[in-house]
Amino acid sequence: MILLRWCCILFVFLVCCELNEQQDKNNLLNATVEVGFGESVSLNRDEMNVTFLDVMSDSRCPIDVTCIHAGEATILVQVLKKDGTHGKFELDVLTQNTANVDFEEYGLHLEKLMPWSVSTKTIELEEYIAVFKIKKTADN
């Protein structure tokens, strides 16, 4: 009887964990999401996948230098939907501005690109992290 009770408690616990995991995945749709270089994130029950493909350029002024021009960075992302539709987009990030792209009913907002450069160190591609906010812009 005690074993049955523990099995029931374990079952309820596992079901709750699974529901929370699914809920967290859905919550990514309007949350801030960090995606490392070469990595992907799936959103809205795998309805959409965003992949950080490349850093096309990064001329942002290093944080330890005074620059006349703030510079910019350009990254390449791929958006793939469950139905097979996809697109590749270049997003330009200025130091004070952010980049946006609309893809079907979704809006992809690049909030920042990390890390910020330092004059004494070269940033390796694997170190880059893009910070996105992804919203559903219209219901289909």
**Of 70, 43, 75, 49, whose CA–CA distance to 59 is shortest?**
70
Q: What mean pLDDT is predicted for residues 74-95?
A: 86
**φ and ψ at residue 37, rounded to 5 degrees:** -55, 130
Q: Taking the domain 31-136, which CATH number applies?
A: 2.60.98
| β-strands 40-43, 99-103 pairing | unpaired
Residue 112: both structure tokens together: 């920042």
Q: What is the pLDDT of residue 21?
A: 43
Q: Is the pLDDT assigned to residue 62 strictly greater than 50? A: yes
| Per-residue pLDDT band at 46 (split at 50, 70, 90) | low
Quickly state the pLDDT bin for 139 (edges 50, 70, 90). low
Q: What is the pLDDT of residue 13?
A: 46
Mean pLDDT value across the chain: 77
Greatest mean pLDDT range, 24-28, 57-61, 108-112: 57-61
Give percent of the chain above pLDDT 90. Answer: 33
- pLDDT value for 77: 94
Give the mean pLDDT of 30-46: 85
The beta-carbon contacts of 113-119 under 8 Å, at least 24 apart in sequence, are 113/55, 113/58, 113/60, 113/73, 113/75, 116/60, 116/62, 116/63, 117/58, 117/60, 117/61, 117/62, 117/63, 118/62, 118/63, 118/64, 119/62, 119/64, 119/65
Model pTM? 0.72
What is the mean predicted confidence (pLDDT) over 121-140?
84
Length of the chain: 140
